[in-house]
Amino acid sequence: YGITPDTIALINIPSLAIHILVPLFMSQIQRHLQWFSYGYIFRLITAIVLAIYIYFIPDIVHRSYFYPVLIILFCMNQAAVYIMVVSRVGFSARISEPQIAGTYMTLLSTISNLGQSFMSTLVLYIASWLPASHVYSIEVTGCVLLGLIWIRLFWRKLKHLDSLPVEEWYLKPLSDVNITVYYESRETFKCN
């Protein structure tokens, strides 16, 4: 039932509109982590719908509605992914301290990318242990269940973090720091 790379490229063309429209819409939001949570739930739902669709591909691959439905599902998935990405980056931009914003954004982005890469690697590693005929359905089920548990555990925490004032995220200077400097003349200078 393979799909050629050219067909995949054609299927992905409509998702370019999603890549343009979602950031435009998301640029107006204030509660970035709330939208991240909504995007997360939407992504879990699209994962379930895509898994069901993929399960029935052998029966519907030659039907006239196969590609239009596939394009709609890809666009839904891309919308969920972009809602999460744009809201995460927007949150990072909001909480970044102005003096070190570029460095802070890079650090937050690196941590996020490492977490995502680690999970993708782990899922692919686990796939090698599962029966080949059921790998996709087992992994989608497991990942959706873990995703539901994660969002249940962290929903309130995300709302709390989103409601914190921006100043709470800034680095605070250390108070009452005494630095003693010795020079060759044995004079002591204290800096407070």
CATH of the domain at 121: 1.20.1250.20
**Backbone dihedral angles phi then psi of residue 148, each to the nearest 5 degrees:** -65, -40
- Residue 26 has, within 13 A of its CA and on its CB side, a CA count of 26
In terms of residue numbers, what domain contains 26?
5-191
**pTM reported for the whole predicted model:** 0.78
Contacts of residue 190, defined as CB under 8 A and 6 or more positions apart, other chains included, come to 178, 179, 180
Summarised one tens digit per residue, pLDDT across range 125-144 is 998 898 888 888 899 999 99
Q: Where are the alpha helices (DSSP H) in 96-134?
A: 101-127
Helix (H, G, I), strand (E, B) or coil at 190: strand
Summarised one tens digit per residue, pLDDT across range 18-44 is 999 988 988 888 888 899 999 999 999
Contact status, residue 15 vs residue 74, Cβ threshold 8 Å: yes
How many domains, the chain?
1
